[in-house]
A and B are shown apart, each in its own frame.
Chain A
């Protein structure tokens, strides 16, 4: 047990993995750096963009290396990584651990997104990613990067994120018609000893949300204000970030001054989707014709990660 912050906790896990014989390779991508031709080192620093780094790392993974792609030096990688994955053919996917820093947790089909909240969870997430046979994206919150906490030296303590959204078999355009599956409860974030193989899933994409009247309502305005202040942004920017989870074309109405049940610009029963922000929970009601269940789930988990609301997520589907 030792005091560590998120970066040192993950580094410690990687150091231990690198000290064992095996095929571990850590690729640190930094656009302005120079490539380090360290012959047989376990670490490699490459001057690439995030999509080129992703291709390079996937090539390493396909050739049998346990690859960790470190994108923490790239600002805004979270927004662009989703597009890079969408353009990736299904056959190119291979077990890979990606590490990045972002305040907004992206939802990428076919990728297990793990958003640890502290150093202990960061270490568990990296241990899980190194053992996993799927693509794991560890999203560290930059606001908590330097917060230290006790990290036990337990090699079996794992931290598993939510189940990944099934990857489409082939890249699909955002405006393609989407099958709407039934609602499913949000899985609890519990450590699992071994990753279970993913069942074959139908080709589904998380969108679209175009033309969706989307609204966010906070039960407690002070809570939302506090969160916005913590993130160093205005309430409007916070609303826009929440809205970004739903897609760029979604219309967002943020209400912080009304009480539950009060009449508002769009009555909740007429809105296509409605997100309720409470002290200890998030509730999302949506209409199936406007939003797929997977899109709803990704909005909910993304917003929960953004607002750092304890993970009590409620999905409610309207007909």
Chain B
């Protein structure tokens, strides 16, 4: 339900944000002392999250710098950053691998581009996990794996949030919030009227 609240907050702008589901899952997994990078600045994860969390792409090099700082503090902190595909992303990937930084990058991509992105990231020796960017339940294991790996000092991971994967069946909603609602109702975690 916490993820649903986060997702509801992140999608309240009404715009179709391809990284909203991944950001909601990541923010749910982060602990005190971790950092989330979205938009121009970093957000420290404390007891509560600020109202103005951004999910647009951050500067991956800045996120790498923050991860380097957390690595030197040696307190098990992790940085999760939303990022867009760019030369700066690949430069930060190379640096993060070389320094084994506790960094998880969320990159939105189309299904047609997954192979190209994966091959470039894996060529830099970075682990790359593709996941359905609209499905919270499908993002959860990938992000949990990546965050735990970073927290244990095993290096960075890139999560490819594919935004146009074919739906499982025609009844599956495309909207991440609606899809999560249907899962919560099906699994018995909530009644439909509670999710209005």
Contact = CB atoms under 8 A, between A and B. Distances in A.
Interface of A: 23, 25, 35, 37, 40, 44, 46, 48, 52, 55-65, 67, 89-92
| B interface: dominant SS | helix
26 contacts: A25-B69, A35-B99, A40-B71, A40-B72, A44-B99, A52-B88, A52-B92, A55-B59, A55-B62, A56-B64, A56-B68, A60-B65, A60-B66, A62-B41, A62-B62, A62-B66, A63-B65, A63-B67, A63-B69, A64-B69, A65-B69, A65-B72, A67-B69, A89-B39, A89-B40, A91-B41
Interface in B8-48: 35, 37, 39-42
A25 B100 CA distance: 17
| Shortest beta-carbon contacts, A-B, top 6 | A59-B65, A89-B40, A63-B69, A59-B62, A56-B65, A91-B41
B40 A59 contact: no
Nearest to A66: B69
Contacts, number: 89
B2 interface: no
Interface of B: 35, 37, 39-42, 59, 61-74, 79, 88, 91-92, 95, 98-100
B41 A89 contact: yes
B98 A59 contact: no
Given A55-B65, A59-B63, A89-B40, A64 B73 contact: yes
B74 to A, nearest CB: 6
B88 A59 contact: no
Nearest to A63: B69
A25 B88 contact: no
B81 to A, nearest CB: 9
B69 A91 contact: no
A89 B63 CA distance: 14
Given A52-B91, A91-B39, A92-B59, A60 B68 contact: yes
Contacts of B88: 52, 55
A63 B35 contact: yes
